[in-house]
Copies of this chain bind each other. A is one copy, B any other.
Amino acid sequence: MTTEPRFSLKVRLHQGDAIALGPGKIELLEALRTTGSISSAARSMKMSYRRAWLLIDTMNQCFKAPLVSTAKGGKGGGGAHLTELGEQVLRQYQQMEQTALHSIESDIAALMAHLKPQ
């Protein structure tokens, strides 16, 4: 069986010791937008509710205003949705990632050409 070489690009924003934003938190924002609930988003990412809640709390603490608005209780453990700032930050991060990926396409191809075929 052969596996194609691949590459990954990860951009993170750090605020003190905390990661304010990175690939995992972006994936969580996307899942929250899709599912509308922390528990469903956590499940779709195979992480605990507690872990998802902590990631959201970190984001909300690091930014000038919350990225996610949560409502406690109710069916499914309470709803959650992206705030206006959350939507904006998610969009900006995704655009930035695309820009970075696009800028290094040919460099990556040149580097990968040196890898041994498996």
A6 in contact with B14 given A62-B116, A89-B114 (CB within 8 Å): yes
Is B107 a contact partner of A95 (Cβ separation < 8 A)? yes
Q: Is the interface of A mostly helix, strand, loop or mixed?
A: mixed
Any B CB within 8 A of the CB of A47: no
A41 to chain B, nearest CB (A): 21
Question: Of A8, A89, A111, which is in contact with the most chain B CB atoms at under 10 Å from its CB?
Answer: A111
Which of these binds chain B: A15-23, A29-37, A49-57, A70-78? A15-23
Q: Are B115 and A15 in contact (CB under 8 A)?
A: yes
Separation of A78 and B93 alpha carbons in the complex (Å): 46
| A66-118 CB contacts (< 8 Å) to partner B | 85, 88-89, 92-93, 95-96, 99-100, 102-104, 107-108, 110-112, 114-116, 118
